[in-house]
């Protein structure tokens, strides 16, 4: 799963750890034929919410703090995972080469996935 996630994005191979954490989270939320409940349901006592899931590696415009009124208020980043300690998403900003957490983003998932139609 991690290999396919990495192959559909232009992110460097150093992001395999983020892909692995995201894959583990998704697999723990996925139903199975062998067990009546998902691992997430067993651990948390309630079914998982799928509404916040995003396509790994997809581009997103993320709202950033600006120092000048005329600076751009958002930057084009890549979604790379879900933080454990807070609500939000991990994003990678290629211009700054940094990973950060943000809750405010506009995801471009449809544009990202349309380039890989079979």
Residue 106 pLDDT more than 70? yes
Which pLDDT score is estimated for 33? 85
Encode pLDDT of 60-80 as tens digits.
Answer: 999 987 777 777 889 999 999
Mean predicted confidence (pLDDT) in 28-39: 87
Mean pLDDT of the chain: 89
For 77-97, write each residue's pLDDT tens digit.
999 999 998 889 999 999 999
Name the burial class of residue 26, with classes exposed (0-12), middle (13-18) and buried (19+) by CB atoms within 10 angstroms of its CB: middle
- Distance from the Cα of residue 72 to its chain's centroid: 23
In Å, how far are 2, 9, 97 from 116, measured between CA atoms?
A: 17, 10, 26
Residue 98's pLDDT band (boundaries 50, 70, 90)?
very high
Q: Rg (Cα) of the chain, in Å, rounded?
A: 16
Neighbours of 42 (CB within 10 A): 11
């Amino acid at each position: 799963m991690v290999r396919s996630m990495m192959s559909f994005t232009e992110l460097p191979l150093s992001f395999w750890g983020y892909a692995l954490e995201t894959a583990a989270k998704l697999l723990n939320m996925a139903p199975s034929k062998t067990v009546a409940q998902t691992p997430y349901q067993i651990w948390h006592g309630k079914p998982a919410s799928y509404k916040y899931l995003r396509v790994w590696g997809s581009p997103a415009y993320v709202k950033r703090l600006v120092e000048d009124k005329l600076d751009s208020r958002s930057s084009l980043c890549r979604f790379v995972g879900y933080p454990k300690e807070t609500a939000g998403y991990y994003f990678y900003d290629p211009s700054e080469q940094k990973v950060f957490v943000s809750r405010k983003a506009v995801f471009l998932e449809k544009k990202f996935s349309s380039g890989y139609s079979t």
